[in-house]
Each structure stands twice: as structure tokens, then as C-alpha cells.
Copies of this chain bind each other. A is one copy, B any other.
Amino acid sequence: MPRLNREESQARTKTLLIEAAREEIIKKGFAQASVRDIADAAGFSQGAFYSNFPDKEAILLELVQQHQSEERAKIESVLGQASGEPAKVMAGLEKWAATANSDPGFAVLAIELQLQALRSPTFAQGYNELNRKHRRALGVLVTRLFEALGKQPPADPVEIATGFIALGRGMALLSRAGEVSRSGRIVVTFLKALIDAAPSA
């Protein structure tokens, strides 16, 4: 490893702590993932945690930042493909549906974040902003998708998007290891039905 200057070293500590936190929280849940567990898993002391975050909940907001970036990136990548011809669009969607929830930990983390938002007003404030943006972005995708297919969305595109986020997260909970494929299958079934049933534009 190359020598890191002070700033880089500090950033690396923070990154390692965040990654460790993500794994611990997915594994045990936020309440059960102790600061000691997280710090140990990252290879630091508990004090290092508090040098980087004001309190335990703060690291959740960092996770939200990351989660947001990653989900947005996935969506953008599909959005790019969604401007082409119908066949390509559908192929892209199927691929997305298959992979979107391929990491169950990712969805479990989303659920942990949502539960926390449901219960901690301070956390909710920062968190809800994410969901609004996220839903709106997915809503745009839905709109473009129906446009590309020459159909009319059967309901508010943002609501449809919300439905698919909910479906994905609900499936993540129901699925155990090895059943991940079922999640993608169901998402595709529902999506195709919506498209087939939609009136032409």
C-alpha cells in the first residue's frame, strides 16, 4: 500500500468504518450492531469511530449517501438504454430486474434505514429527502419506458415506481439465500402485466 498523507489516511479510516458498518448492520440489524462490533470489524478502536462520527446514528446517514449514489447509478444506467427501441428497452428492464435485487443485503439495508426513519425523527429528516428523489427518478424512468413502448402509464408514474421499490424490498425480506431469482421473476411478471394492460398512447 502506498504511503497515505494525513488526509488520505483519515478518509481511509472513515471508508473502512462505513463498509464495516454496512456489513454489521445487514448482518445484525442497526440496534444489534454495536459500535464495538463495527470498529473491531474495521480494525479500529471504538474511539476511532467517535473521531469520525458524532454518534452511532450518524453512520447510518453516511450509508444512506452511499445507498443513494449506488441506486441512482443503477437507474441512470437503465435510463440510458431506455431511450432506444422497444425490444432493447424490455431487454434492459429484464436485466435490471434480475440484478436490482441480486444483493439481498442491499435491500435489507434499505429496510433497516426505513425502519430507522420510521422511528427516529432526526434521522427521518435526512432520510426522506433521499426517497423523494429516488422515487422521482424512478418515476421518470417509468414515464420514458411507457413512452418508448407507445403506451400510457395506467397510474401516476411515481406511484408505479414506488410500487416497484416496495415490491423489491418486500421480496428481499421474503427471500432467503438461493431464492433471489424468484424476486426478479416476480418483478418481471408484474412489469409485463402493467405494460400489456396499458392502453396505447
| Chain A residues at the B interface, C-beta cutoff of 8 Å | 27-29, 31-32, 108, 111, 114-115, 118-119, 131, 154-155, 159-160, 162-163, 165-171, 173-174, 176, 182, 185-186, 189-190, 192-198
Q: For residue A103, give the distance in angstroms from its CB to the closest CB of chain B.
A: 14
Q: For residue A125, give the distance in angstroms from its CB to the closest CB of chain B.
A: 13
Please determine whether A115 and B163 come into contact, CB atoms closer than 8 angstroms: no
Please determine whether B29 and A32 come into contact, CB atoms closer than 8 angstroms: no
Distance in angstroms between the alpha carbons of A118 and B112 in the assembled complex? 13
Copy number in this complex?
A: 4
Question: With contacts A29-B115, A114-B173, A197-B197 known, what are 9 further pairs, Cβ within 8 A?
Answer: A111-B111, A118-B173, A155-B189, A163-B190, A167-B170, A169-B169, A169-B170, A190-B190, A194-B197
* Residues of chain B lying within 8 A (CB to CB) of residue A185: 155, 159
List, sorted by A's number, 13 A–B pairs whose CB atoms are closer than 8 Å.
Answer: A28-B119, A115-B173, A131-B174, A154-B192, A155-B185, A159-B186, A160-B189, A166-B171, A166-B186, A193-B193, A193-B198, A194-B197, A196-B197
Q: Which label, helix, strand, loop or mixed, suits the secondary structure of the A interface? A: helix
Given A108-B118, A115-B111, A197-B192, A186 and B163 contact (CB-CB distance below 8 Å): yes
Distance in angstroms between the alpha carbons of A159 and B187 in the assembled complex? 10
